[in-house]
Structure 1
Amino acid sequence: MAESRWSCNPPPLKIGDLVARVPIVQGGMGVGISLAGLASAVARAGGIGVISAALVGVFEGEALFFKNPTAANVQGLKRQISLAKEKAPEGIIGVNIMVALTDFDPLCQAACEAGADILFCGAGLPLHLPELRPAGSRTKLSPIVSSPRAAKLIAKRWWSRYHCVPDAVVVEGPKAGGHLGFSPDKIEAQESRLEVLVPQVIEAMKPFEDLAGQAIPVIPAGGIYTGADIYFYIHKLGAAGVQMATRFVATYECDASEAFKEAYIKASREDLAIIRSPVGLPGRAIRGKFIQEVEAGKRSPYKCIYHCLKTCDYRKSPYCIAAALINAQRGRLDAGFVFAGANAWRVEKIVSVQELIDELIEEYCQVRRKEEGA
């Protein structure tokens, strides 16, 4: 087993009856960056692998997708979950489903029906998520929040309406890649820092742990890059584990194109920029030709073929974010762009998922031995 590779073992991440021996959740990345290939590799390595549901139907064939996008997305998500389960039969497979997706409800129901172990739902408040879980389903539910206020609001609503609480809470800070749950003027604010938010969310969940008689593990995300970071959040701030996305892009098993992965390796710190997304949220991406053209006003309004995001107003948008992200996933970076976390510029090479996990845990162990004499 992989434990023998490490000089010590970090505490497992426990979410109800799910136990990940490696306390790392691989962040869900769309469109098509984290599908069954990446998620299953992370699950086999002992972490929680996560499939992104965003526009997953595109990979079922454009004929089906454009005829009935919701049906294609449901079919595609079920297929990806099945593939991941086949490749990692003993692993934990989660699904990331953005609340902002037009077909959020049927995708959540489909993921539960397909046997997803846990749903991670952000980009909006998943206030009615429990009612989308079929009776008898063992799928765990975890909102993704960017403030203790949002975590408390969700937990309060779930308890009052459904007599349940989140099985876990992911708190995502402003150094994450992709869409951010902060206004542009708050991204650099002291109160928005992840190390500030994590203890606040842990404290906000304590009354609900008492009400439900169960632990609500809090999992920080956004800018976590090294094993030392993992040690800090677990042992210094009391987190149950961590979520990481950027590090997993530069792996052989990542479902993105080689050009997408190379964009991370080539990126400098200066290439990372906060962009204005058609979704209505700021986002962190690697600035390239496409973004430069958008900033220069060279993109034109387009006809929306499928209103994939509730918050997108295509009439005011200079480009289709769905098309841009699909193009990037396929390696057409001249017609799309790459979302990335604040530390993407530190990525130097492509490795296997197992090599990455081993490196992170060995770094964690080095810090633990130094700090605790373990």
Structure 2
Amino acid sequence: MNLPQLKIGDLVAKVPVIQGGMGVGISLSGLASAVAKEGGIGVIAAAMIGLTSKKGGKDHAKAHIDALTDEIRKAKEMTSGILGVNIMVALSNFADMVSTSVKEGADVIFSGAGLPLDLPKYVSEETKTKLVPIVSSGRAASIICKKWISKFDYIPDAFVVEGPKAGGHLGFKREQLDDPKFSLEEILPEVIKAVKPYEEKTGRTIPVIAAGGVYSGEDICKYLQMGAAGVQMGTRFVATHECDADDKFKQTYVDSTKEDMAIIQSPVGLPGRAVKNDFLQAVTAGEKTPFKCPFHCIKSCKVEKSPYCIAAALINAQRGKLKNGFAFAGSNAWRTEKIISVKQLFTDLKSEFDKACAS
């Protein structure tokens, strides 16, 4: 059995795999273009993207816009495949990042970490950019559909439903992370069911994409059989040559064990999943002290109470300075054995998929 295509409106990805948007600076033009070349959907993460630029400067707002513009253009030069941008609703520069992505002709905007209730206001009839919210419940999908239809006469082009095994910031309370009621296997059918009435009402298909802990071709087979139109994978793409992080960051995954997968409480007020290291142990031991915030990147960040700056910690990790930061990672990161090419990864996923679906 061959991997089916993933259709989002008039966009057709040859392989039903979206590479998750990973910030700060883990998925930029290098990784996104490599994934798009292989027929998947490559995604640039907009979160604090200005920190990845050598140009710098005092004007943070402009630095982020310039860096995102550069990355989208670079990716487009490298591939004619499908390119998306991941933009967290919680970002204080959400509007700038969305407007820039639309202006630069990104094929898709993926948006989670909050409900993107006003996302359609940034697009017009002429805009080709597809809008895909990331949700963690059928209720959230239903709220977005209702709101978008009544306010903008716009139906989401697709949904990504992200379960609690994802890496980075999680859209769940800490106690829900291990509760079977909130597993991807439970919430995927809920979201598919929640969008049905809106598909019937509008005569449009709303593909639902499974995410959060999707690691192998076997997983892809399982979620497609459950009714998902495709999957989103982040962790598996980190240990690739084309990933935009420093090799020391990638090696963190290769060297990790199952016991190293930790749930942390992020300064932005959400639980997150990361690889345990000395930096995080120092935070837990109370050895980090509150700091002054240079960025104001996330609306919900509790700056006065926070022992460290999440943006600084993540950009340090991206640059391989793991003494001053840490690596976010999905629950399966410990399964990573070596760093390979994106091309090889797609070959592996296809053969794992064929084997799983044939049995």
How does the TM-score come out when normalised to structure 2?
0.99
Deviations 1:133-169 (A, max 9, x none): 2451110000001111111111110011011111010
1: CA distance between counterparts of 2:257 and 2:55? 35
Which of residues 212, 228, 244 is equivalent to 1:255?
244
- Cα pair 1:112 1:134 within 8 Å, conserved: no
User: What is the distance in 1 between the residues matched to 2:56 and 2:40?
Assistant: 35
1:206 aligns with 2:182: no
Q: In structure 2, which of residues 72, 75, 86 is the aligned counterpart of residue 81 of structure 1?
A: 72
Q: 2:270 aligns with which of 281, 290, 311?
A: 281
Partner of 1:72: 63
Q: Quick check: 1:365 aligned with 2:354? A: yes
Give the corresponding residue for 2:49. 56
Amino acid at match of 2:180: Q
Q: Match for residue 117 of structure 1?
A: 107
Picking from 304, 307, 316, the partner of 2:293 is 304
The amino acid across from 1:311 in the alignment is S
**1:284-341 CA distance string (max 9 Å, x none):** 0001010000000000111111201101021010100000000000000000000000
Equivalent position of 1:329 in the other structure:
318
Give the Cα separation in 2 of the matches to 1:306 and 1:135. 34
Quick one: distance in 2 between partners of 1:183 and 1:368? 34
Amino acid at match of 2:296: H
Task: Report if aligned partners of 1:108, 1:133 keep a CA contact under 8 Å in 2.
Answer: no
Q: Distance in 1 between matches of 2:326 and 2:358?
A: 41
Q: What TM-score results when the alignment is normalised by the length of structure 1?
A: 0.95
Q: Supply the distance in 2 between the matched residues of 1:86 and 1:339 (Cα, whole angstroms).
A: 29
Could you tell me how far apart the structure 1 residues matched to 2:156 and 2:279 are?
39
Runs (5+) with no aligned partner, structure 2: none
Q: C-alpha displacement at 1:61, in angstroms?
A: 3.2
Whether contact under 8 Å (2:52, 2:315) holds in the other structure is no
**Alpha-carbon shift at residue 261 of structure 1 (Å):** 0.2
Q: Aligned-pair distance for 1:343?
A: 0.4
* SS state at 1:83 partner: helix
For residues 122 and 164 of structure 1, what CA distance do their matches in structure 2 show?
A: 18
Aligned pairs for 1:1-374 (under 5 A) are 8-61=1-54, 63-64=56-57, 67-89=58-80, 91-235=81-225, 237-370=226-359
User: Is there any run of 5+ residues in structure 1 with no aligned partner, and where?
Assistant: 1-7
SS across alignment from 2:95: helix
Determine the C-alpha separation between the residues in 2 that align with 1:169 and 1:63.
34
Q: Letter of the aligned partner of 1:39 in structure 2?
A: A
Question: How far apart are 1:69 and its partner, in Å?
Answer: 1.2
Name the counterpart of 1:4. none
Q: Distance in 2 between matches of 1:315 and 1:135?
A: 43
AA of the residue aligned to 1:34: S
Matched residue pairs, number?
359
Q: CA deviation at 1:62?
A: 5.9
Distance 1:274 1:263 in 2: 16
How far 1:103 moved relative to its partner?
A: 0.3
Q: CA deviation at 1:70?
A: 1.4
Cα distance, 1:177 vs structure 2: 0.3
SS of the residue 1:315 aligns to = helix
C-alpha separation in 1, matches of 2:139 and 2:70: 36
**Rounded Cα–Cα distance in structure 2 between residues aligned with 1:313 and 1:227:** 39
Partner secondary structure for residue 210 of structure 2: strand
Mapped to 2, the partners of 1:63 and 1:50 lie a distance apart of 23
Supply the RMSD in Å over aligned alpha carbons: 0.9
**Structure 1 134/113 Cα, relative in aligned 2: closer, same or farther at 3 Å?**
farther
Letter of the aligned partner of 1:319 in structure 2? Answer: Y
For 1:5-45, what per-residue CA distance to the aligned partner results, in whole angstroms no more than 9, with x for missing partners?
xxx42110000000001100000000000000000000000
Is the Cα contact below 8 Å between 2:28 and 2:244 reproduced in 1? yes
The letter of the residue matching 2:233 is: M
CA distance in 2, matches of 1:368, 1:135: 40
Q: What secondary structure, in the 3-state scheme, does the structure 2 residue paired with 1:164 have?
A: coil
Q: Secondary structure in 1 aligned to 2:33? A: helix
Tell me if structure 1 keeps the 8 A contact 2:33–2:78: yes
